[in-house]
């Protein structure tokens, strides 16, 4: 019984290690606290932490504001919360591969990151109470940004969702050397969204291969 238990634990450990190495966490918002509110114009803030590249720039812009209320961005309990109050239409963006050089000026600080082992970006949200458009932009030097936009309609209150941006949708991008990543969240009037994480993931078949490898390793140990 102890031997069987050990084999099972070994297989689980192999699978867990494989899965852990199979995706890239861009930002889980557990570090780099931000708490900012604007009622007009634009705002840039910088945070340091364990996110990809070691820092992020949060950009906020109020596009229209019927009642003079606020657009807010906050991190709490490992989530990025974006709140557009009544009558406020805005965009909030998290950006990687940038440095803040002035109150409203940025400069590229290339990530030089190799995503060739992955096949898609995934934006995981915990809740949203209205329409949400996510624009995912990437740049591989010396090329320009390539953007893919996806809109989630209706509401999904306290219901987690994952929005997938397949690498095949980004025409002409060299994913072995990504320098900048921008993720824009366009919230509707009176719209809130809680973002759990942004990550890069392999194709689903990779997970099956990892599971098969774990089982094969366990079988070899049993034969011994």
> DSSP per residue over 48-114, as a string?
ESSSGGGEEEEEEEEEEESSS--EEEEEETTEEEEEE-TTEEEEEEEEESEEEEETTEEEE----B-
Would residue 51 count as lying in a domain? yes
Position 216 scores a pLDDT of 45
Q: Which two tokens stand for residue 75?
A: 């991190």
**Domain at 179, CATH number:** 2.60.120.260
pLDDT one digit per residue (tens) for the chain, 224 residues: 443 333 344 444 444 444 445 789 999 999 999 999 999 999 999 999 999 999 999 999 999 999 999 999 999 888 999 999 999 999 999 999 999 999 999 999 999 999 999 999 999 999 999 999 999 999 998 989 999 999 999 999 999 999 999 999 999 999 999 999 999 999 877 789 999 999 999 987 444 444 444 444 444 444 44
Beta-carbon contacts of residue 85 (< 8 Å; ≥ 6 apart) = 67, 69, 70, 71, 72, 190
Query: How many domains would you assign to the chain?
Result: 1
| Distance of alpha carbon 193 from alpha carbon 131, whole angstroms | 10
Supply the pLDDT for residue 76: 82
Q: For residue 218, is it within any domain?
A: no
Domain that holds residue 139: 25-202
pTM for the model stands at 0.83
Residue 195 included in any domain: yes
208 found inside a domain:
no
Classify 32 in phi/psi space as left (phi over 0), alpha (psi -120 to 50) or beta. Answer: left
């Amino acid at each position: 019984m102890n031997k069987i238990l050990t084999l099972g634990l070994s297989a689980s450990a192999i699978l867990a290690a494989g899965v852990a190495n199979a995706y890239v966490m861009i930002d889980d918002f557990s570090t780099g606290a931000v708490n900012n509110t604007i009622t007009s114009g634009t705002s840039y803030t910088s945070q340091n932490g364990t996110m990809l590249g070691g820092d992020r720039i949060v950009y906020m812009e109020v596009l229209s504001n019927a009642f003079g209320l606020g657009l807010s961005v906050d991190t709490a309990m490992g989530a990025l919360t974006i709140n557009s109050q009544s009558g406020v239409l805005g965009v909030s963006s998290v950006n990687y591969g940038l440095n803040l050089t002035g109150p409203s000026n940025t400069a590229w600080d290339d990530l030089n990151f190799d995503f060739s082992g992955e096949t898609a970006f995934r934006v995981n949200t915990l809740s949203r109470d209205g329409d949400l458009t996510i624009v995912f932009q990437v740049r591989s030097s010396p090329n320009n940004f390539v953007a893919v936009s996806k809109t989630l309609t209706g509401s999904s209150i306290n219901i987690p969702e994952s929005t997938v941006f397949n690498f095949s949708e980004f025409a002409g991008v060299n994913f072995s050397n990504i320098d900048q990543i921008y993720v824009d969240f366009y919230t509707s009037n009176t719209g809130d969204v809680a973002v759990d994480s942004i990550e890069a993931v392999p194709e689903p078949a990779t997970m099956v291969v990892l599971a098969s490898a774990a089982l094969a390793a366990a079988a070899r140990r049993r034969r011994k």
